[in-house]
Amino acid sequence: MKASTFTTAVLLAIAISGCGASDGKSSVENAAVSKEDVCTLLTTAEVSQLVGEKVHDGKRDTKHVYPNTAVCTWTSVSHDMPLLLLTYNVHTSSHKLDYYAPPLDMGYTIKELNGSPNEAIAVLTSKKSLFEVIVRSGENTVLLTAPFLEEKEGSKLWNSEIQLAKLAAKRAKGK
């Protein structure tokens, strides 16, 4: 009977020691998402709501493979065009966010979001519509691009795209 109690206590101690951080989440839940899991950062429903039409489940680009980057694309169900791209760059804390923006000499401009240039920025086209949202996610970076939306600053779509990018970045942190 005592051996059984000891074995139970040891197994319980092993289980408790594997739980991770003190907030009750496992170490896996607290860790950043791997780049292979880029498509789990947004749901098909969230993407459909943003772009205003049904989309296929996100599909990770396995054709163009880069060491620290992964891309997930959601395409339209009706015309199979890419409607949203989510790029996830890992180990990027050494770069400022504008590093990931298209060249400014091509007519793009940067707008800081949240008052911090290294937390979230919007990339605007020459027509001042939103091209891309870039958000810091701990040591990583999330880029959200909706190529066919031409949302103007302050519009509902503008705010929705920014919030969706921030949600993906939060999920990428493992929170």
- What tens-digit pLDDT sequence spans the chain (175 residues)? 433 332 222 222 222 222 222 233 333 334 578 888 999 999 999 999 999 999 999 999 988 878 889 999 999 999 989 999 999 998 888 888 989 998 888 889 999 997 666 789 999 988 888 999 999 988 899 999 998 888 888 889 999 999 999 999 999 988 6
Phi-psi region of 2 (alpha: psi -120 to 50; beta: other; left: phi over 0): alpha
- Contact assessment for residue 15 and residue 34, using Cβ atoms and an 8 Å cutoff: no
Residues 70 and 27 both lie in one domain: no
The verdict on 24 and 37 lying in the same domain is: no
Shared-domain flag, residues 6 and 49: no
**Of residues 11, 8, 75, 77, the one with CA closest to residue 39:** 75
Looking at the fold, whether 147 and 64 belong to one and the same domain comes out as yes
Our measurement of the distance from residue 151's CA atom to the centroid of its chain's CA atoms, rounded to an integer in Å, reads 20
Question: Each residue of 13-45: pLDDT tens digit?
Answer: 222 222 222 233 333 334 578 888 999 999 999
Q: Please report, for the domain that includes residue 141, its CATH number.
A: 3.40.1000
| Range(s) of the domain holding residue 7 | 1-31
As to burial, measured by CB atoms within 10 angstroms (0-12 exposed, 13-18 middle, 19+ buried), residue 33 is: buried
Phi, psi of 27 (to 5 degrees): -65, -30
45 and 118 in a single domain? The answer is yes
Tell me, yes or no, whether 12 and 69 share the same domain. Answer: no
User: d(Cα 175, Cα 40) in Å, to the nearest integer?
Assistant: 13
What pTM, to 2 d.p., does this model score? 0.77
